[in-house]
Each structure stands twice: as structure tokens, then as C-alpha cells.
Chain A
């Protein structure tokens, strides 16, 4: 029997190549694991019984269009929607022979940091089901952590891959903006959205990133990779200059246990040969969150204008003219968080407020980009905790949107600058996983994989949740 809790995608590839197990048997083993453990966790919105492909199966966040397979973005307004085309990333994993296990849960339209905003009910953290998995890609990270998928794709706008990867004790990459196609991804904030890999190991992430990354002729914001993705081998960090931004590591709200785990990991980097030094991102952390919560809702308010009940998805029962059909469809179809963000964005973009809000936020974005560029003159990577806290209790932040937004304090600044970030598990605090964030220059994914792999080997974190061992 295959132990899906421990099996990495790389090991699974080996089993298939040596014909010790077939792709279909492997797919069945994961569906069995889902039947066993997912009723408690609810990481999947739907599963697929007999997909094409004989390779290592994969789960896709339900913002990724899959031809003929329901794609809801965890919103009632897309209930029943079956795309008539594949997103480019879905086509690429299909072409690579990876059969689809199913579509994973998320915060509605990827708006949230806990997966509690799903219209279909929350996902629970495999390490402690009374706690959230993080979000918005919490379904994908919970599935990988609980051995319900060897690997998965998520999407990240303000931290939606890195933060749930941290809270579930798995590895997640937010790629450089423009390296992975957004064609066929349900749009949230187009100048920030990126799809990326989630897996148990850094090498698995690199393998999956190699499959999905690269220019796509039908997404004009994508570019050719400057170098091919390499599988990391090195187990030392000799010559690597590691910057520790004070504001990202000493921000208010970082739990002591999280801070200690990150400090130990930084010490480990030094022992592995890295040159470690302090640096500063004074305004990026202070102004990152306000900047993000103007730009992302503004772009969302425009992107979500398409949901009008005419061409696909939910339509309210008509009891009047076409305008009242639009209004009622949107009132009944969207949950609270999309409504809040649509209104915030509509306000920030409206006449008289544009310059003070959206325009000013775009200038703050330049300040954040320049601060990071200055730090990268002295360092090759920047590091910090991924999330200020470990996984919090369900319901703890749902009444206060600003408390929920603060979960992305440490992931947002580099996202605003368009930089790639890798989160790896670096230990436990209060019995729950702590994530360690590595930020690189644009297109430096190979360096992030190399550094993440060396640290991962030295840390020997056991990614199987204690309650399943």
C-alpha cells in the first residue's frame, strides 16, 4: 500500500517509472485517503473519478478553469459553472500526464486568509481541525499536508500561497509576477495574481514549477524565463548573502514562538555557510498592507463586474427588469468579503477619490519596489517569518476584517514589488507549523529553491501532522 501521508511527488514518480504502482492505482490511493480524511477537513470541493493521465496526480485550486469540471472560485455566483476550456496551467499539467484529483477549497474569489470565506464551508487545518489552514489556498495546502494530494496548485495575490503553506507545514512558491500564465484563472487583482506550486518538499515545488512556468502567447503579461528551472541539489549555503529585514522580523504581532523558530533558521543558514546581515525596509512593511488593500480591491471591483447573471453562473429569479436581475444576482451570489472589496474598490476608484487612494497606492508601490531593490544591492535573498502567527482558531477573526487582513502583513510587501517568495516549514510553535519566507530578486526562483532545499535538509521538519503519525 502506498503511504500517501509521506509520499513525495518525486518518490511517486519513481514508483510509477519502476512500475511498482500504476498512475491509476496511485490516483485511487489518494481518492481513498480523501474518502477517509477529507470529511473532517473539507479541503476538496469536488473530486474526479477517472481523469486522463498516467503520472503523479494533482489537485488544483478552484480558481483554475478545468474543462468540463465545475469551477466555482468557492462562490455561489459560479455554482454549476463548467468551463468550456482549460486554463493554460491546467492544460500544462494535463500535457505533462498529471491526472486531476479534484478542485480544492478557497476563500471566495481568493479573498481571505483563512479559507473561512468559502460559500461552501471552511477547510480545517490537518494539524488541528479546530484551526484554520490559512488562505486563500487553504484547500490546496491542507490537502498536501494531509496526504490527500502529492502536490497542488494555488494562487497568490497578497500571500495566498505562502501564508497557508506556512500554517499547514508545507512548501509553497509565489513565483515572480509574469512567469506563470493567468489565462483561465478566475481574476481577482490582475497586477498581483500569480499561480504557483504547493508540495511537501522544495524539490517537488521545483518540479511542478518547471511544468507550469514560461511564456504563454495568450497571456501578454507573461515572459520567457531567463534560465530553465533546476532541481536543487546543494546542501550548503556557501557564499549566499542573506538579508534579515528588521521590520519584517520584528513587526508588532509576531508571536514569540514564531520569532524564535525563524531566528533558529537564520542561525542555521549561518552554520550552512551563508553570510547573514541585517537590513531595513522601513516603509514597505508600514505601508504595504494599506497599499495592498487599496490596489487589490480596486482591481477586484473591476474584475468582478463581469458577474451579472447573463452568460454563466448564478442568476437570481427574475421579478423585474434586466437591471434588477443584475442587482439581485450580485446581492444573492456574492458573499460578504467580495461585497466589501467591491465596494471598497469602487469607492477608491470613484471620481474625486482616485488620486488620493488608488493613485497614491500605486506610488507607494514604487517606494516599496525601490526599497527592496536597495536591499538586493547587498543581499541575494531576504528572509523572515511567513506569517506573524501560527494557525488561529476558526471564527477568531471573521468578525473583524482588519484583523484578518493583518495575517498577510509579512507576505504583502514583496508581492507588491513583484518579487518571488518561497515558504518552507521551519519548526513548530505550540505544536503548530511555523513558516519561513525566502524572498528573491525577480526571476531568482532557482536561487530560492537552492536555499530552501539546503535549509529543508538541515531542518529535517516532519511534514506529516502529528495526529496522523
Chain B
């Protein structure tokens, strides 16, 4: 088995997904099958191969440090689920 139900619980916590027991049962089986399939990459000995991080060989793309008009406060808050004055409002920690 590639991943246990306990590990799925742990991963769901890391990813901030509050899963139900039903979801955990379903995803545990599916993730196990998927990990089994993608684990195929470990069949290759690639110790001498460099990783590809990005399709294009770009480095140090600079931009001029020019001020541009930013979003207004009202624009930034336009989609807020909840606000208080000029701030996003959330439940207390």
C-alpha cells in the first residue's frame, strides 16, 4: 500500500481540507491507486540527470522599478466576503 488512511488524514490537515469520514474513506483508496501508478517514475535510475524546473532557460528577468497605479482600497475589497472599514474581516483566532 502506497498511502495509509492515517497519512491521508495527516495530508488533509496539512492542506487545510476538513474532510468527512466518508471522503477520507473514498480518497484513501483513490490516492493509493494513483500513487501506485505515479510511483512508476522511481523505476528509472536518474541519479546523473539534472531536473527540469521550467520549460524555458530563462534567468534573472528584470523589470524597471517604475511606480504604477495600484488597485484602490475599494477595488481590493470589492470581493471581500466580509469587511470592516478598510480591512478584510475574519473570525477571531
Contacts and interface: CB of A to CB of B under 8 A. Distances in A.
A330 B90 contact: no
A360 B41 contact: yes
Contacts of A417: 55
Interface in B30-52: 30-31, 33-35, 37-42, 44, 46, 49-52
Is chain B's interface secondary structure helix, strand, loop, or mixed overall? loop
A308 B90 CA distance: 11
Interface in A288-329: 289-291, 293-294, 301, 305, 308-315, 318, 320-328
Contacts of A84: 71, 75-76, 78-79
Interface residues of A, number: 70
25 contacts: A191-B54, A220-B58, A223-B56, A287-B40, A290-B39, A291-B41, A293-B37, A310-B81, A312-B81, A323-B16, A323-B93, A324-B18, A327-B17, A330-B17, A340-B30, A343-B17, A344-B35, A347-B35, A357-B38, A360-B44, A362-B51, A364-B46, A365-B52, A401-B30, A402-B33
B37 A322 contact: no
A12 to B, nearest CB: 34
B53 interface: yes
Most buried by A among B16, B41, B53, B80: B41
Nearest to A401: B30
Contact of B16 (A315, A326, A365, A367): A326
B25 interface: no
A220 B54 CA distance: 12
Given A322-B93, A418-B55, A312 B79 contact: yes
Contact of A359 (B27, B51, B88): B51
Contact of A363 (B16, B23, B49): B49
B29 to A, nearest CB: 10
B91 interface: yes
B90 A322 contact: yes
Interface in B69-86: 71, 75-76, 78-82
A312 B21 CA distance: 28
B79 A330 contact: no
A177 interface: yes
Contact of A346 (B14, B33, B49, B51): B14
Given A293-B38, A294-B41, A322-B90, 8 more contacts: A221-B56, A293-B34, A322-B93, A340-B27, A343-B12, A347-B3, A360-B41, A362-B52
A177 B56 contact: yes
A328 B27 CA distance: 17
A346 B15 contact: yes
A364 B46 CA distance: 8
Interface of B: 3, 7-8, 11-12, 14-20, 23, 27, 30-31, 33-35, 37-42, 44, 46, 49-56, 58, 61, 63, 71, 75-76, 78-82, 88, 90-93
Interface of A: 80-82, 84-85, 177-178, 191-192, 217, 220-221, 223, 283, 286-287, 289-291, 293-294, 301, 305, 308-315, 318, 320-328, 330-331, 334, 339-340, 342-344, 346-348, 350, 356-357, 359-367, 369, 401-402, 417-418, 442
A342 to B, nearest CB: 5
Nearest to B38: A290
Contacts of B81: 309-310, 312-315
Contact of B78 (A82, A293, A294, A442): A82
B17 A364 contact: no
Given A220-B61, A327-B16, A360-B46, A191 B55 contact: yes
Nearest to B18: A327
A322 B91 contact: yes
Contacts of B78: 82, 84
Contacts of A366: 46, 49-52
A342 B17 contact: yes
Nearest to A334: B17
A365 B46 CA distance: 11
A402 B79 CA distance: 36
Contacts of B80: 310-312
B45 to A, nearest CB: 10
A330 B92 CA distance: 18
Given A309-B81, A342-B17, A343-B12, A418 B56 contact: yes
A298 B63 CA distance: 28
B91 A325 contact: yes
Contacts of A361: 38, 41
Nearest to A415: B55
Nearest to A190: B54
A287 B41 contact: yes
A320 B56 CA distance: 46
A290 B27 contact: no
A331 B55 contact: no
